């Protein structure tokens, strides 16, 4: 999955904001660039750089050792834990020390990557072992991600929360997008175990910067604890009652099923068909990431009044670029198509996040974001095997065409639903 930048939306967040926390956002000063925020931004930006590099290195390792089917198995295994963990982890993180949860998850992933590097240094790694590693690393990420989302309001003043999210997500997107570009140059000076070790070092840096944030800044105190079941039920009710949110979330998840597998499975196969290597794969993925960052920065300056319509329309635009990618074998043609995919991807993510921020009450926003991550995880689990099956049955060119056409059709259906729903709501409110 790509990370997303968060713009400052035209609409203010609905409902009450985050509860006051000792030493946290509301009790702190009005400035944004405090020591805890700088530590979080710097540490997580470097960690996301390692994530982007590692994702490409793992895909290439699986492809070289086990083919496109191996890529599908490893990618699905890494995403599967987020299905069960994100929403539960978000509720759990609201009532426990988020900083300790994140440090523990970082140390687990550090150990996992060092173990993988040692195994690669000794020779090839069996597919089941790679899948097991992906499952373990994904389990740690399922705890880390919702804890990070819940940590921000504890260290940032409430008045600067949206701006802080925009800065953090832009940093994460830039880092994750640039990470793949490092694979080729690193492999020119070291081996794949060396690359994996470099990725592991970024988790060590993340844990160190989190340890530098004073525990008092992130302590969680609540007067009443409704319990996980009641908390999750209240969050789900908030999502269901928010205008347009369920449809946009469902569209995003379905579209990601139709699109993401061809980034995980189809793009490496496209590179191999064109007789390219890992540097070519990193260049294509990095180009898409850089274009997505550019699109995010541009959109963050716009006042998007129809957030839901923008989000679902962008999937149709992305489908158009995906439609033509399979028809070419030339890198000169693949690069602009991947850039267009990145630009469109920013327009699918940013309006959705802004819509959640505008529609969901603050005390349920973390769970709503985790619900979005769960949809992403479901799509990333389902999509790679489907893409591998499509490529095997139809060929690469036809599979890309099918993916693009399906995205355009889904976007059109969602647009019809949204445009027909608004006049009915206006009539009921008249």
- d(CA 61, CA 57) in angstroms, rounded, equals 6
**329 has a pLDDT exceeding 90:** no
pLDDT score for 69:
86
**301 has a pLDDT exceeding 60:** yes
Using 50, 70 and 90 to split pLDDT, how confident is the model at 304?
A: low
- d(CA 197, CA 111) in angstroms, rounded, equals 10
pLDDT score for 421:
66
Q: Comparing 191 with 328, which gets the higher pLDDT? A: 191
Residue that the structure tokens 């069960």 belong to: 84
Buried residues in 82-116 as b, exposed as e (16+ CB within 10 A): bbebbbbbbbbbbbebbbebbbbbbebbbebbbeb
pLDDT score for 257:
93
pLDDT score for 101:
82
- For 359-393, how does the pLDDT look when each residue is reduced to its tens digit (9 = 90+)? 777 667 767 777 887 888 788 778 888 988 988 89
For residue 51, what are the contacts with CB-CB under 8 A and spacing of at least 6?
A: 175, 176, 179, 199, 202
Which range in 150-159, 247-256, 354-363 is most confidently predicted, on average pLDDT? 247-256
Using 50, 70 and 90 to split pLDDT, how confident is the model at 207?
A: very high
| Mean pLDDT score of the chain | 78
**22 has a pLDDT exceeding 50:** no
Q: How far is CA 67 from CA 36, 101, 116, 392, 396, in A?
A: 44, 36, 19, 12, 14
Q: Are 306 and 343 in contact (CB under 8 A)?
A: no
Q: How far is CA 53 from CA 106, 202, 260, in A?
A: 16, 11, 18
Cβ-based neighbour number of residue 407 at 10 Å: 26
Question: What domains appear along the chain, each with residue ranges and CATH number?
Answer: 21-221 (1.20.1250.20), 234-430 (1.20.1250.20)
For residue 320, what are the contacts with CB-CB under 8 A and spacing of at least 6?
A: 340, 404, 408
Report how far Cα 359 is from the mean position of its chain's Cα atoms. Answer: 21
Q: Are 284 and 271 in contact (CB under 8 A)?
A: yes
Q: Comparing 254 with 233, which gets the higher pLDDT? A: 254
Q: What residue spans of 30-80 are helical by DSSP H? A: 35-79
By 3-state DSSP, what share of the chain in percent is helix, strand and coil, each rounded to 5?
80, 0, 20
pLDDT score for 200:
92
Percent of the chain scored above 70 by pLDDT? 78
Calculate mean pLDDT across residues 127-156.
80
Q: Comparing 286 with 423, which gets the higher pLDDT? A: 286
**217 has a pLDDT exceeding 70:** no
pLDDT score for 209:
94
- d(CA 334, CA 287) in angstroms, rounded, equals 10
Percent of the chain scored above 90 by pLDDT? 18
**226 has a pLDDT exceeding 70:** no
Calculate mean pLDDT across residues 278-290.
82
DSSP 118-143: HHHHHS---HHHHHHHHHHHHHHHHH
For residue 332, what are the contacts with CB-CB under 8 A and spacing of at least 6?
A: none
388's enclosing H/E stretch is helix 362-394
DSSP 247-261: HHHHHHHHHHHHHTH
Calculate mean pLDDT across residues 421-425.
56
Residue that the structure tokens 């910067």 belong to: 209
Question: How wide is the angle at C-alpha 381 spanned by C-alphas 379 and 149, nearest 5°?
Answer: 65
- For 240-280, how does the pLDDT look when each residue is reduced to its tens digit (9 = 90+)? 898 899 999 999 999 999 988 877 788 888 888 876 777 88
DSSP tally for the chain: helices H, then strands E: 16, 0
pLDDT score for 135:
86
**293 has a pLDDT exceeding 60:** yes
Using 50, 70 and 90 to split pLDDT, how confident is the model at 220?
A: very low
- For 62-102, how does the pLDDT look when each residue is reduced to its tens digit (9 = 90+)? 888 888 888 888 888 887 777 666 677 667 666 667 788 88
């Amino acid at each position: 999955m790509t990370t997303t930048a968060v713009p400052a939306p035209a609409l203010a967040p609905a409902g009450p904001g985050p509860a006051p926390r000792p030493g946290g956002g509301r009790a702190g000063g009005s400035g944004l660039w405090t020591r805890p925020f700088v530590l979080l931004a710097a540490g997580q930006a470097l960690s996301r750089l390692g994530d982007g590099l590692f994702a490409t290195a793992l895909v290439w390792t699986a492809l070289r050792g086990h083919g496109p089917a191996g890529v599908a198995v490893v990618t699905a295994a890494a995403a599967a834990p987020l299905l069960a963990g994100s929403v539960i982890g978000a509720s759990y993180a609201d009532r426990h020390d988020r900083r300790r949860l994140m440090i523990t998850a970082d140390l687990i992933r550090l150990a996992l990557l060092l173990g993988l590097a040692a195994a690669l240094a000794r020779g090839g790694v069996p597919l089941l072992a790679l899948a097991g590693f992906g499952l373990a690393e994904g389990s740690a990420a399922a705890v880390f991600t919702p804890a990070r989302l819940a940590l921000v309001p504890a260290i940032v003043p409430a008045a600067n929360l949206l701006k802080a999210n925009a800065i953090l997500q832009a940093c994460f997107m830039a880092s994750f997008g640039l990470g793949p570009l490092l694979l080729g140059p690193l492999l020119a000076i070291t081996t794949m175990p060396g690359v994996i070790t470099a990725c592991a070092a970024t988790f060590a840096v993340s844990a160190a910067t989190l340890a530098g944030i004073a525990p008092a800044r992130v302590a969680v105190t609540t007067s009443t604890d409704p319990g996980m079941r009641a908390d999750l039920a209240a969050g789900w009710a908030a999502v269901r009652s928010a205008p347009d949110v369920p449809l946009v979330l469902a569209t995003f998840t379905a579209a990601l099923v139709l699109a993401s597998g061809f980034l995980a499975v189809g793009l490496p196969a496209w590179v191999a068909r064109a007789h390219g290597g890992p540097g070519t794969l990193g260049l294509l993925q990095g180009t898409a990431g850089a274009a997505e960052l550019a699109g995010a920065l541009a959109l963050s300056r716009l006042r998007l009044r129809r957030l839901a319509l923008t989000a679902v329309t962008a999937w149709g635009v992305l489908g158009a670029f995906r439609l033509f990618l399979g028809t070419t074998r030339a890198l000169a043609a693949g690069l602009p198509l991947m850039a267009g995919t990145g630009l469109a991807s920013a327009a699918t993510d940013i309006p959705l996040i802004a819509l959640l921020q505008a529609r969901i009450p603050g005390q349920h926003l973390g769970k709503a974001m985790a619900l979005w991550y769960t949809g992403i995880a479901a799509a990333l689990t389902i999509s790679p095997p489907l893409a591998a099956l499509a490529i095997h049955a139809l060929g690469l060119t036809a599979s890309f065409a099918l993916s693009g056409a399906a995205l355009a059709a889904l976007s059109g259906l969602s647009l019809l639903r949204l445009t027909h729903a608004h006049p009915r709501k206006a009539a009921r409110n008249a």
